[in-house]
Amino acid sequence: MPSDTPKLPATPAQPALPDGGEGTVVVERQSSKVEPPRLYQVVMLNDDYTPMEFVVMVLQQYFHRDLETATHIMLKIHHEGRGVCGVYTKDIAATKVELVLAAARRAGHPLQCIMEAA
């Protein structure tokens, strides 16, 4: 080989081993069980001013309810004072509450929406 040929790095004698060649591999046990995430229900509250059609639209748009189910939930809220729109993990429930409140504010309606541990 001519003396100016670049040299490749030397191949290690041993392939890389998980124990670095020491002969021991430690597998750590999980210290705690993985629990399913806590769930939160998004609850809409009744008021005297928000139009029924707006509540039905919100239930369809933000909670993916069909017209019949959205109407049923809206009427339940209207008669009983509150109703569950859906059940979600914490971040999703919080986002839904923010989106509903923002939509109500934009439209000038006093609609209130909260989340609570399911």
Exactly one of 40, 50, 63, 97 binds ligand TYC (CB under 6 A); which one?
50
Exactly one of 42, 59, 70, 74 binds ligand TYC (CB under 6 A); which one?
74
Site for ligand TYC contains 103 (CB under 6 A): no
Site for ligand TYC contains 76 (CB under 6 A): no
Exactly one of 17, 37, 39, 51 binds ligand TYC (CB under 6 A); which one?
51
The answer to whether the CB of 113 falls within 8 A of the CB of 63 is no
Please classify residue 114 by burial: count the beta carbons closer than 10 Å to its beta carbon, then call 0-12 exposed, 13-18 middle and 19+ buried: middle
Beta carbon of residue 54, minimum distance to ligand TYC (angstroms, whole number): 8
The answer to whether the CB of 75 falls within 8 A of the CB of 11 is no
For residue 67, give the 3-state DSSP assignment.
Answer: helix
Beta carbon of residue 107, minimum distance to ligand TYC (angstroms, whole number): 12
> How far is CA 15 from each of CA 9, 12, 40, rounded to the nearest angstrom?
14, 7, 51
Q: Which residues contact ligand TYC (rule: CB under 6 A)?
A: 44-48, 50-52, 55, 74, 77-78, 111
